[in-house]
């Protein structure tokens, strides 16, 4: 049984007949008040993906490990996973927290975040949490067709909202998602808040066996990604091959150098024509 069949079988068990691409979050009563008791198995709808749409747009299919894009992401993820879960873990603080950013919009942060999450989650024994931290331009939920009641910003803003209420299950057993949540005037402050720092700490300690991928805003547009980078063990700088000037890239690298030990640069030829797309990668 391949990965997709297993995922389908698992999702069949939750026969709540969810309208495709729709997630109705629970907890309408008792809104944001009661902490959940341990072992409280509340029923939660499962996020399903429109694989045809994703495939048409160049994303990985988790049931096809032979495609060129799957191949490319295998080499991209290898050093990241080794750092996060392997022997080097001890040398890198918060090694399992990976931030994906770029200099300017449109270089492929969301594309990279989602593909990386799919690629890692497709491995039987790996768990991934994908977090949309590009709160000004939330795209993970848009691309994946997710509608959720609460997300990251709601959690950061509301002390009584438990983490479990914002983590969405998906049809890929190893993949969970946190959406950006509502827009907020002070999102930069929230991303730099003590609660965000506590969340990062919790994700790196309590969820140490899980790789957490943060899709973030561009580095040169706001300070949000830079603020977040200081809380992450590894950073991926996506560089749009023919669109980003060298001075932009150098400026971004400079910003990241002081905040994170590991910076992986991905050269992303962000063309719609898949045959022309390619990746290069390397470490600073
Ligand atoms: N390597 C690639 N191959 C095909 N399409 C890509 C690639 N990289 C990015 N894209 C597409 O380019 C557009 C911009 O990418 P996106 O990830 O949304 O950028 P960002 O999140 O950095 O603003 C999206 O439509 C995305 O699907
Ligand atoms: Mg994006």
Task: Measure 106 CA to ligand 1 centroid, in angstroms.
Answer: 6
65-80 pLDDT per residue, tens: 889 999 999 999 999 9
130-160 pLDDT per residue, tens: 999 999 999 999 999 999 999 999 999 999 9
230-281 pLDDT per residue, tens: 999 999 999 998 788 889 999 999 999 888 878 899 989 755 444 444 454 4
Instruction: Pick the residue whose CA is nearest to atom 17 on ligand 1.
Output: 108
Report whether pLDDT(13) > 80.
no
d(CA 49, CA 78): 25
**In this structure, which ligand is nearest to the CA of 73?**
1
Which atom of ligand 1 lies nearest, measured to the CA of 273?
4
Between CA 161 and CA 164, with CA 163 as vertex, the angle to 5 degrees is 105
Rounded mean pLDDT, 213-223? 94
Which atom of ligand 1 lies nearest, measured to the CA of 58?
4
How far CA 149 is from CA of 1, 131, 141, 182, 250, in Å, comes to 34, 15, 12, 9, 39
Q: 117 versus 11: which is more confidently predicted?
A: 117
Domains and CATH numbers, the chain: 3-7+57-283 (3.40.50.300)
165-182 pLDDT per residue, tens: 999 999 999 999 999 999
Task: Measure 249 CA to ligand 1 centroid, in angstroms.
Answer: 17
Which atom of ligand 1 lies nearest, measured to the CA of 269?
1
Closest by alpha carbon to 179, among 165, 193, 192?
165
**What tokens appear for 171 in the block?**
């049809």
Mutation choice for ligand 1 from 54, 100, 111, 280, CB with most ligand atoms inside 8 A: 111
184-207 pLDDT per residue, tens: 889 889 999 999 999 999 999 999
Q: What was the pLDDT predicted at 273? A: 47
Q: What was the pLDDT predicted at 244? A: 86
Beta bridge partners of 130: 177, 213
d(CA 102, CA 152): 20
**271 burial type by CB count under 10 A (0-12 exposed, 13-18 middle, 19+ buried):** middle
Q: 45 versus 220: which is more confidently predicted?
A: 220
Give this prediction's pTM. 0.82
pLDDT mean across residues, the chain: 83
Report whether pLDDT(64) > 70.
yes
CA 33 to chain CA mean position, Å: 27
Task: Measure 83 CA to ligand 1 centroid, in angstroms.
Answer: 26
d(CA 14, CA 43): 9
43: left (phi over 0), alpha (psi -120 to 50) or beta: beta
Compute how many other C-beta atoms are within 10 angstroms of the C-beta atom of residue 98: 28
d(CA 263, CA 261): 7
Q: Are 157 and 109 in contact (CB under 8 A)?
A: no
Report whether pLDDT(6) > 80.
no
d(CA 178, CA 156): 12
**Ligand 1 binding site (Cβ under 6 Å of any ligand atom):** 57-58, 102, 105-111, 139, 268, 270, 272, 277
Q: What was the pLDDT predicted at 188? A: 87
**Residues 6 or more apart from 45 whose CB is under 8 A from it?**
14, 16, 18, 22, 23, 24, 25, 26
Q: 164 versus 91: which is more confidently predicted?
A: 164
């Amino acid at each position: 049984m391949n990965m997709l069949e297993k995922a389908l079988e698992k999702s069949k068990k939750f026969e709540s007949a969810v309208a495709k691409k729709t997630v109705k979050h629970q907890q309408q009563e008792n809104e944001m008040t009661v902490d959940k008791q341990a072992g409280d198995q509340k029923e939660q709808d499962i996020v399903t993906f429109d694989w045809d749409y994703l495939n048409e747009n160049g994303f990985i299919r988790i049931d096809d490990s032979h495609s060129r894009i799957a191949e490319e992401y295998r080499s991209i993820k290898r050093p990241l996973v080794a750092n996060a879960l392997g022997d080097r873990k001890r040398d890198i603080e918060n090694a399992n927290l990976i931030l994906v950013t770029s200099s300017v919009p449109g270089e492929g942060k969301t594309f990279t975040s989602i593909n990386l999450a799919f690629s890692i989650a497709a491995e039987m024994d790996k768990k991934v949490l994908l977090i949309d931290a590009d709160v000004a331009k939330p795209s993970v939920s848009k691309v994946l067709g997710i509608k959720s009641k609460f997300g990251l910003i709601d959690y950061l803003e509301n002390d009584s909202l438990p983490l479990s209420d914002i983590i969405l299950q998906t049809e890929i057993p190893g993949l969970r998602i946190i959406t950006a949540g509502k827009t907020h005037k002070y999102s930069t402050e929230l991303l730099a808040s003590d609660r965000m720092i506590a969340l990062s700490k919790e994700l790196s300690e309590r969820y140490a066996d899980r790789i957490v991928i943060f899709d973030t805003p561009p580095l040169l547009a706001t300070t949000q990604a830079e603020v977040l980078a200081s809380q992450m063990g590894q950073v991926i700088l996506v560089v749009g091959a023919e669109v980003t000037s060298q001075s932009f890239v150098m400026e971004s690298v400079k910003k990241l150098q002081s905040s994170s030990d590991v910076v992986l640069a991905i050269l992303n030829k962000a063309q719609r024509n898949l045959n022309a797309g390619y990746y290069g990668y390397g470490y600073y």
